[in-house]
C-alpha cells in the first residue's frame, strides 16, 4: 500500500511496492508545484556551507519580517515552524480542547493531532451530493452536534480542492469555539485576497491560519510553514515549540523564495491553464471531476470501469505513475482517487496511462 505512512509522495514505499527505482516514478500522489523549486533555492544551497556551523535564529526573525510584510500583519502575529505539519500538531497541543471537529474527507493530520491530544473527535461528513462543499448545512449540524471547542478545517481542503467561504468560519467562531484554518494551498489561489483569513487571524484571539511553504515552492524536503494568530494566542505555541525547530537553511530558503514574484505569477498562470485542460481530458475518460481551485483534483472513477482505486493505483504504479488512493481518506471510499496537476507533457502521460489501465490500449 503506497500510503503506508498515511500520505502521498512516498517514493521509497513506491519502490518497494512496484519494483522500480524511486527516480523513475512520475508522482501524481503528492501535490508540489512542478515549476519549482525557484532558482534561488539552488543559490541558497551553495551558500549554506558558510553558516552550517552556527545555530539558526531561534525566532526566524528575518523570515517572519518578510512574511509579515507579504501579508500586511505584525511580525509577532506569526510563528514559523518545521512545516505546516508541525504547527497543526502544536496548535492542538497548545489549545488542549476536550472536543474538536473536522470536516471529512480532509488532511489526515487534523484527526491525528486531535486524537494524540486525547480530545473527543467529531467527523462531520462533507457530502458528494453537495460536491463536498463545507456549506451552511455542514456548519449548522457541526454546531448542533459536535460540542467542539476547536474546529480544524482546510481551505482549500485536501483532497477536495474546495475553498471555504469566510462566512462559514465566522459562523463557527460565533459559537465561541476556536477555529484553525489550514491554508496550505492558498498560494495557488488567484482570489486569495477574498478567501484567506490571514488578516483576521492576526487580530482574533480564537482564529488561527496555518500556511505551508512546501507546496507552492516545491520544497517539501526542507520543511517550512507558519501559523498566524493573535500575538497573545501564539504565546503558548511559542512556549511548547522545540527550540531551533526551523533550521537555518530552511529560514534562508524561505526568505529567498518569497522575493521571487515572477515565479509566483508564472505558477498561477500555469495552474489556470492546466487545471481546466486536465479536467476536460479526465471527463472525456469518464471521470467525475469535483470543482476545486488547487494543483490537485479529486476524481470519482467512471461507473463500470471495473476497477477500485486500490487496483487502479497498483496498475498505474507498475507503469511508473503514482496516484493517491482515495479510500484512505475518512469520508471517501474505493471509488475515488486524487491526482496532482503537473506540467502538460506529464499530465498527458497520466491521462494515457489511466486510459491504458482502465480500458486497455484501445481507449474508452
Ligand atoms: C492540507 C495540508 N496541510 C498541511 C500539509 C503539511 O504541509 P507541510 O509540508 O508544510 O508540513 C499538507 C501536506 O500534504 C497538506 O496537504
Same domain? For 74 and 149 the reply is yes
Give me ligand 1 centre to Cα 356, in Å.
Answer: 31
Can you give the pTM of this predicted structure?
0.96
Q: Which domain holds residue 79?
A: 39-258
- Based on the fold, state whether residues 103 and 227 are members of the same structural domain: yes
- Mean pLDDT calculated for residue range 352-356: 97
pLDDT at 362 over 70: no
**What's the confidence (pLDDT) of residue 8?**
86
Are 73 and 196 members of one domain? yes
d(CA 132, ligand 1 centre) in Å: 19
Question: Ligand 1: does its nearest atom lie under 6 Å from the Cβ of 85?
Answer: yes
Q: Does residue 2 sit within a domain?
A: no
206 and 343 both lie in a single domain = no
Helix (H, G, I), strand (E, B) or coil at 239: helix
Claim to verify: residue 73 and residue 149 sit in the same structural domain? yes
Kindly state if the Cβ of 182 falls inside 6 Å of ligand 1: yes
Residues 221 and 280 in one domain: no
Flag whether pLDDT at 97 surpasses 80.
yes
Is position 136 within any domain? yes
- Burial grade of 309 (CB within 10 A; 0-12, 13-18, 19 or more): buried
207-262 tens-digit pLDDT:
999 999 999 999 999 999 999 999 999 999 999 999 999 999 999 999 999 999 99
Residues 131 and 199 in one domain: yes
Give the number of the atom of ligand 1 that is nearest the alpha carbon of residue 7: 14
Confirm whether 3 is domain-assigned. no
Q: Is 294 in the pocket of ligand 1 (CB under 6 A)?
A: no
First-to-last C-alpha distance (Å) of the chain: 27
Among 212, 229, 258, the domain-final residue is 258
Would the CB of 38 count as within 6 Å of ligand 1? Answer: no
Q: Is 156 helix (H, G, I), strand (E, B) or coil?
A: coil
pLDDT (0 to 100) of residue 361: 66
The CATH number assigned to the domain holding 279 equals 3.90.1150.10
Task: State whether 154 and 251 are in the same domain.
Answer: yes
In this structure, are 26 and 50 located in the same domain? no
Give the integer Cα–Cα distance in Å for 62 and 174: 35
pLDDT of residue 304: 81
Render pLDDT for 55-93 as a digit per residue (tens, 0 to 9): 999 999 999 999 999 999 999 999 999 999 999 999 999
What grid cell was written down for 25?
Answer: 516514478
Q: What stretch of H or E contains 179?
A: strand 178-182
Q: Does 159 contact ligand 1 (Cβ within 6 A)?
A: no
For residue 19, CA distances in Å to 16, 149, 200 come to 6, 46, 49
* From 86, 88, 109, mutation site for ligand 1 pocket: most ligand atoms within 8 A of C-beta: 109
- Domain final position from 200, 233, 258: 258
pLDDT, tens digit, for every residue of 41-56?
A: 999 999 999 999 999 9
pLDDT interval class at 4 (50, 70, 90): confident
255-283 pLDDT per residue, tens: 999 999 999 999 999 999 999 999 999 99
* For range 353-358, the mean pLDDT: 96
363 CA to middle of ligand 1, Å? 35
Q: What is the pLDDT of residue 15?
A: 92
224 CA closest ligand 1 atom index: 10
CATH classification of the domain holding 207? 3.40.640.10
Tell me what the pLDDT averaged over the chain comes to.
Answer: 96
Taking the centre of ligand 1 as the mean of its atom positions, its distance from the CA of residue 140, in whole angstroms, is 27
Nearest atom of ligand 1 to the alpha carbon of 225? 10
* % of the chain beyond a pLDDT of 70: 99
**Euclidean distance between CA atoms 128 and 110, whole angstroms:** 21
> Is pLDDT at 363 greater than 60 in this prediction?
no
- Cα 165 from Cα 178, distance rounded (Å): 17
Q: How confident is the model at residue 182 (pLDDT cuts 50, 70, 90)?
A: very high
In a domain, 364, yes or no: no
Residues 328, 205, single domain; the answer is: no
pLDDT band at 5 (very low <50, low <70, confident <90, very high): confident
Atom of ligand 1 nearest to the CA of 157: 1
* Residue 261: its H or E element: helix 261-284
Spatial separation of the C-alpha atoms in residues 308 and 310, rounded to whole Å: 5
From the CA of 290, how far away is ligand 1's center (Å)?
20
Residue 4 falls inside a structural domain: no
Within 10 angstroms of residue 144's Cβ, the number of other Cβ atoms is 8
| Structure confidence at residue 18 (pLDDT) | 92
Domain end position, chosen among 217, 233, 258:
258
Same domain, 150 and 91: yes
pLDDT at 350: 98
Pocket of ligand 1, candidates 85, 225, 227: which has the most ligand atoms within 8 Å of its Cβ, to mutate? 85
User: Cell digits for 49?
Assistant: 556551507
pLDDT tier at 6 (50, 70, 90 boundaries)? confident
Q: How many structural domains does the chain have?
A: 2
Q: Would you place residue 306 in the very low, low, confident or very high pLDDT band (cuts 50, 70, 90)?
A: confident
pLDDT value of position 364: 53
For residue 320 and ligand 1, the question of a CB distance below 6 A is answered with no
b/e map 105-143, b = 16+ CB within 10 Å: bbbbbbbbbbeebebebbbbebeeeeebbbbeebbeebb
Tell whether 1 is covered by a domain.
no
Element at 79 (helix H, strand E): strand 78-81
Let me know whether 228 and 120 are in one domain.
yes
Which among 168, 43, 160 is positioned nearest to 106, based on CA atoms?
160
Distance CA 302, CA 286 (A): 5
| 83 close to ligand 1 (CB < 6 Angstrom) | yes
- Asked whether residue 6 is domain-assigned, the answer is no
Q: Is residue 93 part of a domain?
A: yes
CB distance 9 to ligand 1 below 6 Å: no
Is residue 46 exposed (0-12), middle (13-18) or buried (19+ Cβ within 10 Å)? exposed
Amino acid at each position: 500500500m503506497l500510503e503506508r505512512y498515511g500520505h502521498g509522495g512516498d517514493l521509497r514505499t513506491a519502490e518497494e511496492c512496484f519494483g522500480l527505482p524511486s527516480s523513475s516514478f512520475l508522482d501524481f500522489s503528492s501535490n508540489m508545484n512542478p515549476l519549482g523549486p525557484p532558482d534561488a533555492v539552488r543559490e541558497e544551497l551553495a551558500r549554506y556551507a558558510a553558516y552550517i556551523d552556527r545555530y539558526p535564529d531561534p525566532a526566524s526573525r528575518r523570515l517572519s519580517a518578510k512574511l509579515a510584510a507579504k501579508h500586511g500583519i505584525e511580525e509577532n502575529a506569526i510563528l514559523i515552524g518545521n512545516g505546516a505539519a508541525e504547527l497543526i500538531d502544536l496548535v492542538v497541543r497548545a489549545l488542549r480542547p476536550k472536543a474538536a471537529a473536522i470536516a471529512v474527507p480532509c488532511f489526515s493530520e487534523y484527526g491525528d493531532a486531535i486524537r494524540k491530544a486525547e480530545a473527543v473527535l467529531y467527523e462531520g461528513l462533507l457530502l458528494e451530493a453537495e460536491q463536498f462543499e463545507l456549506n451552511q448545512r455542514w456548519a449548522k449540524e457541526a454546531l448542533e452536534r459536535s460540542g467542539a471547542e476547536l474546529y480544524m478545517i482546510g481551505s482549500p481542503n485536501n483532497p477536495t480542492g474546495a475553498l471555504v467561504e469566510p462566512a462559514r468560519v465566522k459562523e463557527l467562531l460565533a459559537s465561541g469555539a476556536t477555529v484553525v484554518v489550514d491554508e496550505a494551498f492558498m498560494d495557488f489561489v488567484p482570489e486569495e485576497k477574498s478567501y484567506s483569513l490571514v488578516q483576521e487571524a492576526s487580530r482574533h484571539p480564537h482564529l488561527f491560519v496555518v500556511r505551508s511553504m512546501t507546496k507552492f515552492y516545491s520544497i517539501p524536503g526542507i520543511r517550512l510553514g507558519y501559523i498566524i494568530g493573535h500575538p497573545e494566542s501564539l504565546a503558548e505555541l511559542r512556549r511548547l515549540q522545540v527550540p531551533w525547530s526551523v533550521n537555518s537553511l530552511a529560514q534562508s530558503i524561505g526568505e529567498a523564495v518569497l522575493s521571487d514574484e515572477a515565479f509566483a505569477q508564472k505558477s498561477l498562470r500555469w495552474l489556470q491553464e492546466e487545471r481546466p485542460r486536465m479536467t476536460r481530458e479526465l471527463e472525456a475518460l469518464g471521470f467525475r471531476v469535483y470543482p476545486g481551485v488547487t494543483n490537485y483534483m479529486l476524481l470519482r472513477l467512471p461507473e463500470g470501469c471495473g476497477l477500485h482505486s486500490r487496483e487502479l493505483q497498483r496498475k498505474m504504479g507498475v507503469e511508473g505513475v503514482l496516484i493517491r488512493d482515495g479510500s484512505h481518506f475518512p469520508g471517501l471510499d474505493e471509488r475515488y482517487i486524487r491526482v496532482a496537476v503537473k506540467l502538460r507533457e506529464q499530465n498527458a502521460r497520466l491521462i494515457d496511462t489511466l486510459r491504458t489501465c482502465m480500458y486497455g490500449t484501445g481507449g474508452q
